[in-house]
């Protein structure tokens, strides 16, 4: 079959036709598994009166130093997306150290909601005359209250702090800022070199794609991502990344965001960063894991803050870190799959409940002493004379 004969919604010869997929079923590429090839494992299921109605699949990896101590759901290949921001900013920590405030350093590592404080902090990194250099997409705040209506602006974009800090750093380094979002810009090779040093000198990304904000994002396995978050613990005193994020957790995500909540719960010993699509990275300083513990959760179907929150609460709970429960489910209860933690923590996992007193038990009509009686006689006393 010739290229011209292959099916495509883009007519042969039209601009871009050569880069579109040629098969709607997808093509195989060596070393790159698709979601169909991965044996995802259930992480949490939502049950209505004991019957599972919704099961969330995914993968999770625990890494101590450079040793994978637990992997569940397969060593899936994914893009690190915004979860990589604390690592990306490491290549600029020296040049930005004395010129940014702690708040500006925190917003540089953030995927913020676009609140007023987020926008103001991001804008303060650049002079107003430099604002036009920003290339992140137009967007509206992730969270809007009441009847607020916001016209799309680049500063509302969740990655605007990262873009602003990147532009500031490039100016200080004397690097041309034209085309700063392209992988051909010199900063990107510095980032690859950093990942090489934390993973393996021979490591190379199988794919480099354009992230939602326009910057390049590289492919890593879940185990590799957990290894990188373990490295965040060991390098916490080498630069300002850890300190800035822990001092200003509400600038990292914002209102009701999982990473901000985890950082607060960790009280200076835990770093967390969300990433699209369905990623959460946690770096934990823990006495039982002196080389640094990195944990990465990947939700198979993409971002699900509630499910990820339940999994994170369980993972942190077995390590002695208390994370509050998310908002209650609607007439359901969440139940954790044991495989999300290493075997040594199974006993502790049984004590991390997924409901609280304020979470009403609404998945039943009434408390019945014998549920089987209702199943056998669903009409109760109806029909009796």
**Alpha-carbon distance 295 to 312, whole Å?**
10
283: Cβ–Cβ under 8 A, 6 or more apart, which residues? 229, 230, 232, 233, 236, 242, 270, 271, 272, 292, 293, 294
pLDDT exceeds cutoff 80 at 367? no
Lowest mean pLDDT among 2-16, 24-38, 229-243, 259-273: 2-16
d(CA 85, CA 89): 6
| pLDDT exceeds 50 at position 383 | no
> Starting at the edge strand that comes first in sequence, how are the strands of the sheet with 208-210 ordered?
77-79, 216-221, 208-210
Beta bridge partners of residue 283, listed in sequence order: 271, 294
What angle, 0 to 180 degrees and rounded to 10, lies between the N-to-C axes of helices 160-173 and 116-123? 10
Taking only the tens place, the pLDDT of each residue in 182-234 is: 999 999 999 999 999 999 999 999 999 999 999 999 999 999 999 999 999 99
Q: Hey, what domains does the chain have and what are their CATH numbers?
A: 54-349 (3.40.710)
pLDDT digits (tens, 9 = 90+) for 114-154: 999 999 999 999 999 999 999 999 999 987 766 667 889 99
Mean pLDDT of the chain, nearest integer = 91
For residue 1, is pLDDT > 70?
Answer: no
SS3 71: strand
Contacts 24+ apart (CB under 8 A), 189-192: 190/91, 191/87, 191/88, 191/91, 192/218
User: What does the pLDDT read at residue 362?
Assistant: 82
Rg (C-alpha) for the chain, rounded Å, is: 23
Helices (H) and strands (E) in the chain, counts: 12, 10
Quick: pLDDT tens for 94-105.
Answer: 999 999 999 999
pLDDT (mean) for 235-241: 97
Confidence class for position 379, pLDDT limits 50, 70, 90: low
Cα separation, 90 vs 270, in Å, equals 18
283, 232 in Cβ contact below 8 A? Answer: yes
Q: Which residues touch 350 (CB under 8 Å, ≥6 apart)?
A: none
| DSSP 8-state assignment for residue 306 | H
Residue pointed to by tokens 């490039």 = 170
Question: pLDDT over 90 for what percent of the chain?
Answer: 77
- CB count in 10 Å sphere of residue 237: 7
| 86 close to 279: Cβ distance less than 8 angstroms | no
pLDDT at 384: 47
Q: Which residues pair with 286 in a beta bridge?
A: 289
- Quick one: which of 291, 284, 252, 251 has its CA closest to 266? 284
Report, as an integer, the average pLDDT of 240-260: 97
The pLDDT value given to residue 364: 81
Instruction: Choose among 348, 89, 77, 138: nearest CA to 238.
Output: 89
Q: What are the angstrom distances between the C-alpha of 314 and each of 72, 274, 324, 342?
A: 15, 17, 10, 12
Mean pLDDT computed over 264-277: 97
Is the pLDDT reported for residue 272 higher than 70? yes
- Within 8 A by CB and 6+ apart from 120, the residues are none
Q: How far apart are CA 385 and CA 111, in angstroms?
A: 66
Q: 103: helix, coil or strand?
A: helix
- Over residues 13-40, the mean pLDDT reads 84
**What per-residue confidence (pLDDT) applies to 371?**
59
Write out the two tokens for 156.
């509302």
The predicted structure's pLDDT at residue 196 = 96
Cβ atoms < 10 Å from Cβ of 120: 12
Average pLDDT over residues 330-343: 94
Q: What are phi and psi of 192, to 5 degrees?
A: -60, -40
The answer to whether residue 376 scores a pLDDT higher than 60 is: yes
Q: What is the pLDDT of residue 327?
A: 83
Whole-model pTM: value is 0.91
CB 118 within 8 A of CB 136: no
Determine the 3-state secondary structure of 89 from DSSP.
helix
């Amino acid at each position: 079959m010739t290229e011209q004969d292959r099916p495509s919604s883009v007519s042969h010869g039209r601009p871009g036709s050569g880069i579109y997929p040629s098969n709607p079923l997808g093509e195989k590429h060596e070393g790159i598994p698709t979601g169909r090839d991965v044996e995802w494992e259930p992480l949490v299921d939502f049950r209505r009166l004991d019957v599972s109605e919704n099961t969330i699949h995914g993968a999770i990896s625990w890494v101590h130093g450079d040793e994978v101590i637990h992997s569940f759901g397969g060593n899936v290949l994914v893009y690190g997306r915004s979860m990589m921001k604390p690592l990306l900013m490491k290549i600029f920590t020296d040049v930005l150290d004395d010129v940014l405030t702690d708040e500006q350093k925190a917003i540089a590592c953030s995927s913020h909601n676009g609140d007023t404080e987020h926008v103001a902090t991001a804008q303060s990194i650049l002079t107003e005359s430099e604002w036009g250099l920003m290339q992140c997409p137009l967007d509206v705040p992730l969270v809007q209250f009441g009847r607020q209506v916001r016209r799309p602006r680049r500063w509302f974009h969740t990655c605007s702090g990262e873009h602003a800090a990147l532009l500031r750093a490039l100016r200080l380094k004397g690097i041309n800022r034209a085309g700063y979002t392209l992988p051909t810009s010199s900063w990107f090779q510095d980032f690859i070199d950093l990942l090489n040093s934390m993973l393996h000198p021979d490591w190379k990304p199988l794919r480099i794609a354009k992230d939602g904000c326009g910057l390049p994002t590289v492919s890593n396995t879940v185990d590799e991502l957990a290894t990188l978050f373990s490295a965040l613990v060991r390098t916490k005193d080498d630069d300002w990344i850890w300190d800035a994020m822990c001092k200003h957790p509400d600038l990292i995500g914002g209102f009701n965001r999982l990473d901000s909540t985890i950082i607060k719960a960790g009280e200076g010993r835990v770093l967390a960063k969300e990433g699209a699509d369905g990623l959460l990275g946690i770096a934990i300083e823990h006495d039982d894991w002196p080389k640094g513990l990195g944990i990465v959760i990947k939700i198979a179907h993409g971002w699900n803050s509630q499910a990820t929150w339940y999994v994170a609460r369980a993972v942190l709970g077995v390590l002695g870190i208390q994370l509050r429960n998310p908002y209650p489910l609607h007439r359901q209860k969440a139940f954790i799959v044991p495989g999300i933690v290493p075997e040594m923590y199974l006993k502790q996992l049984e004590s991390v409940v997924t409901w609280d007193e304020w979470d009403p038990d609404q998945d039943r009509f009434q408390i019945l002493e014998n549920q089987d009686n209702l199943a056998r006689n669903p009409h109760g006393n109806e029909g009796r004379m």
